[in-house]
């Protein structure tokens, strides 16, 4: 059954049980000295000092990715399964890995027990996400015993943490492969080495990463598509591990992005989400031209595709030109996700966000002036080291002043290797939980109020699928990213329809089908 974005925890089934099937060398090999190998591959724990020494290594731009002939057919008769944790960037990385595996001859499966290759694409942003992965690795032991030739791989952001790799080496020896976010295009080579060796294959580059074009993708669905426009982050917020795991900011060339979006439009996709760890820093690294996110959005606006979004923004890089372009609307939607993290200048300072409460409010004012009907959403962390009750209250006050329509809220979780992890975590857990509860009450209040305004209105909804419980209850999102449930036939899936809103709930809307919106070319 089709699941909507809010209802699912992104699973992609992919398969690779290619491991011992092609393994011909049976004699035991001398045990590898992982300590020296590890030192060579993962040079150190995430280091603020080392990571900020950027620009020493040239970022290469490869436009001609292709799978070598020696790997073709490797997956014939085998299946793969991928489970994805974390952000849309991870989801997109999984689509790329699925594309590579498919070209190798593998077939996807939704059942772990059928898989020849199991990949866990991991997230390092919070401790809870890491614990889920370790729990899953423990769970996979029984499948490995049932099928010793199953290949198990750990990839994504967690794999680029020294402590994680060490833990896998010592505790989860049934893992066959560990590779990083920069190594995805190397998957055929990694698989081959895993098949040919009984030792754990570890390939985690500490370099900043190249830009690889022409990577194959097996997209999750045919309605919405993710398009990477840049990689990495240079902001070094003190709580965040992403600059260490994803590397420095590096942008794809505009012509490659525009061509990809044109192809997706031709394939009938209804919505594009532009991705980047700091998406509105796009183009800052270009040395041959002045070209930023506003310029790119202005060109994408002319492509005949109904909706274009982007995530995730950083307030420091949200410039006036981008606001001006977004105000032209057309296929550029009226929803902006703008993480603030805290409403206190003191906390923002120790977070190294490099903007003030006043700067953020001024940015919001500019956006609302240019786009009066904009829906603003945000991210907030509570219980940061040294956060006082007064500082937390400043966050509540900021939320009310901006009038965010919803928010992702989190209790602060220290990440090893980040500057914040060295700070004394002096806010008691019970205080953090109580603050989160109070903040979430405000979030629900504003979300309910925003949705209440839709009662009796007719809105346009991109239908993504049906409910788990009833096939005749469909679900989709408005341009302003509001979830709408309504009754209707399954053949409406993938279309934009008009829905009359009958009832507003805390985080969703209930309505009735009116009519299909006729597709027309985007006006430019």
Q: Same domain, yes or no, for 281 and 382? A: yes
Q: What gap in Å lies between CA 273 and CA 275, rounded to an integer?
A: 6
At 407 the three-state DSSP class reads strand
In this structure, is residue 524 part of a structural domain?
no
- Domain with residue 477: its CATH number is 2.40.50.140
Q: Report the interhelical angle of 127-139 vs 162-171 (nearest 10°).
A: 20
Nearest to 426 by CA among 467, 397, 385: 385
- Domain with residue 144: its CATH number is 3.40.50.12160
Q: Same domain, yes or no, for 392 and 358? A: yes
- DSSP assignment, residue 63? -
Q: Same domain, yes or no, for 248 and 356? A: yes
Q: Same domain, yes or no, for 161 and 227? A: no
pLDDT in the model for residue 51: 61
Digit-coded pLDDT (tens) for 266-308: 999 999 999 998 999 999 999 999 999 999 999 999 999 999 9
Question: Who wins on pLDDT, 92 or 213?
Answer: 92
Nearest to 395 by CA among 449, 339, 447, 448: 339
pLDDT in the model for residue 339: 97
Digit-coded pLDDT (tens) for 216-252: 888 888 999 999 999 888 899 999 988 887 888 889 9
> How many helices and strands in the chain, by DSSP H and E?
15, 22
Structure tokens, 278: 């700091």
Dihedral pair phi/psi, residue 105, rounded to 5° = 105, -5
Confidence tier at 40 by pLDDT (50, 70, 90): very low
Confidence tier at 203 by pLDDT (50, 70, 90): confident
Q: Same domain, yes or no, for 87 and 159? A: yes
pLDDT in the model for residue 216: 80
Q: Regarding beta strands 473-477 and 458-466, do their DSSP bridges make them parallel or antiparallel, or are they unpaired?
A: antiparallel
- Which of 25-39, 61-75, 279-293, 451-465 has the weakest average pLDDT? 25-39
Q: What gap in Å lies between CA 229 and CA 5, rounded to an integer?
A: 21
Among the three residues 418, 452, 486, which one is the final residue of a domain in this structure? 452
Query: Region 48-69: what's the mean pLDDT?
Result: 68
Q: Same domain, yes or no, for 297 and 180? A: no
pLDDT in the model for residue 23: 32
Q: Same domain, yes or no, for 60 and 120? A: yes
Q: Same domain, yes or no, for 196 and 126? A: yes
Structure tokens, 80: 């793969």
- Domain with residue 276: its CATH number is 3.80.30.20
Q: Which domain holds residue 471?
A: 458-516
Q: Residue 478, preceding bond cis, omega within 30 degrees?
A: no
Digit-coded pLDDT (tens) for 345-391: 999 999 999 999 999 999 999 999 999 999 999 999 999 999 999 99
Residue 405, C-beta contacts closer than 8 angstroms, at least 6 positions apart: 375, 376, 377, 446, 447, 450, 480
Q: Are 488 and 513 in contact (CB under 8 A)?
A: yes
In this structure, is residue 34 part of a structural domain?
yes
Q: Same domain, yes or no, for 255 and 330? A: yes
Q: What gap in Å lies between CA 124 and CA 45, rounded to an integer?
A: 13
Q: Same domain, yes or no, for 235 and 299? A: yes
Question: Who wins on pLDDT, 415 or 365?
Answer: 365
**Percent residues over pLDDT 70 in the chain:** 86
Judged against a pLDDT cut of 50, whether residue 27 lies above it is answered with: no
In this structure, is residue 512 part of a structural domain?
yes
Number of domains in the chain: 3
Among the three residues 155, 171, 203, which one is the final residue of a domain in this structure? 203
Judged against a pLDDT cut of 70, whether residue 208 lies above it is answered with: no
In this structure, is residue 523 part of a structural domain?
no
Q: What gap in Å lies between CA 374 and CA 455, rounded to an integer?
A: 18
Query: Region 430-445: what's the mean pLDDT?
Result: 97
Buried b (16+ CB within 10 A) or exposed e, 5-32: beeeebebbbbbbbbbbeeeeeeeeeee
Model confidence pTM above 0.85: no
Which of the listed ranges 10-14, 73-77, 383-387 does the model predict with the highest average pLDDT? 383-387
Confidence tier at 22 by pLDDT (50, 70, 90): very low
In this structure, is residue 309 part of a structural domain?
yes
Judged against a pLDDT cut of 60, whether residue 21 lies above it is answered with: no
Nearest to 327 by CA among 297, 268, 371: 371
In this structure, is residue 6 part of a structural domain?
no
CA 463 to chain centre: 22
In this structure, is residue 167 part of a structural domain?
yes
Residue 322, C-beta contacts closer than 8 angstroms, at least 6 positions apart: 280, 292, 293, 294, 297
Q: What is the mean pLDDT of the chain?
A: 86
pLDDT in the model for residue 363: 98
Judged against a pLDDT cut of 50, whether residue 265 lies above it is answered with: yes
Dihedral pair phi/psi, residue 152, rounded to 5° = -115, 130
Among the three residues 203, 230, 261, which one is the final residue of a domain in this structure? 203
Q: Same domain, yes or no, for 173 and 244? A: no
Q: Same domain, yes or no, for 170 and 297? A: no
At 384 the three-state DSSP class reads coil
Question: Who wins on pLDDT, 522 or 80?
Answer: 80
Confidence tier at 19 by pLDDT (50, 70, 90): very low
Digit-coded pLDDT (tens) for 159-191: 877 778 888 888 998 999 998 887 888 899 999
């Amino acid at each position: 059954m089709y699941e909507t974005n809010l209802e699912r925890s992104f699973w992609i089934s992919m398969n690779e049980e290619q491991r011992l099937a092609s393994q011909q060398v049976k004699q035991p090999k001398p045990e590898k000295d992982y300590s020296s190998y590890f030192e060579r591959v993962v040079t150190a724990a995430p280091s603020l000092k080392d990571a900020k020494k950027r620009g020493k290594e040239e970022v290469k731009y490869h436009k001609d990715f292709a799978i070598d002939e020696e790997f073709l057919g490797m997956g014939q008769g085998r299946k793969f399964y991928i489970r994805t944790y974390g952000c849309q960037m991870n989801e997109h990385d999984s689509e790329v890995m699925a594309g590579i595996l498919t070209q190798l001859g593998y077939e996807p499966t939704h059942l772990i027990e059928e898989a020849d290759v199991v990949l866990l694409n991991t997230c390092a942003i919070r401790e809870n996400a890491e614990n889920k992965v370790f729990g899953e690795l423990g769970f996979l032991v029984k499948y490995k015993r049932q099928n010793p030739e199953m290949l198990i791989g750990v990839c994504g952001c967690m794999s680029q943490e020294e402590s994680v790799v060490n833990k896998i080496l010592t505790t989860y020896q049934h893992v066959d492969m560990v590779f990083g976010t920069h190594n995805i295009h190397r998957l055929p080579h990694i698989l081959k080495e895993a098949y040919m060796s009984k030792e754990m294959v570890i390939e985690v580059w500490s370099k900043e990463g190249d830009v690889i074009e022409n990577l194959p993708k097996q997209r999750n669905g045919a309605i919405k598509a993710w398009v990477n426009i840049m990689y990495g982050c240079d902001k070094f917020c003190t709580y965040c591990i992403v600059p260490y795991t994803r590397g420095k900011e590096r942008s794809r060339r505009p012509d490659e992005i525009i061509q990809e979006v044109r192809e997706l439009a031709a394939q009938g996709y209804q919505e594009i989400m532009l991705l980047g760890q700091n998406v509105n820093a796009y183009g800052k690294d270009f040395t041959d031209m002045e070209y930023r996110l506003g310029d790119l959005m202005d060109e994408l606006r002319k492509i005949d595709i109904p909706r274009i979004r982007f995530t995730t923004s950083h307030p420091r890089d949200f410039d006036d030109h981008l606001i001006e372009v977004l105000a032209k609307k057309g296929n550029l939607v009226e929803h902006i996700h703008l993480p603030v993290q805290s409403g206190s200048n003191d906390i923002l300072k120790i977070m190294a966000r490099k903007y003030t409460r006043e700067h953020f409010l001024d940015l919001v004012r500019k956006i609302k002036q240019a786009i009066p009907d904009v829906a603003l959403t945000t991210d907030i962390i509570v219980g940061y080291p040294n956060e006082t009750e007064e500082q937390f209250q400043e966050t509540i006050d900021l939320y009310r002043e901006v009038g965010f329509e919803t928010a992702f809220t989190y209790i602060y979780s220290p990440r090893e290797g980040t500057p914040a992890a060295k700070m004394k975590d002096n806010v008691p857990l019970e205080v953090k939980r109580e603050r989160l509860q109070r903040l979430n009450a405000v979030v629900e209040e504003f979300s309910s109020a925003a949705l209440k305004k839709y009662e009796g209105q007719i809105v346009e909804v991109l239908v993504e699928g049906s409910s788990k419980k009833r096939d005749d209850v469909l679900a989709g999102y408005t341009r302003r990213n509001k979830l709408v449930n309504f009754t209707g036939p399954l053949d409406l899936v993938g279309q934009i329809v008009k829905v009359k809103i009958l009832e507003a709930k805390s985080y969703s809307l209930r309505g009735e089908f009116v009519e299909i919106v006729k597709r027309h070319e985007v006006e430019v």
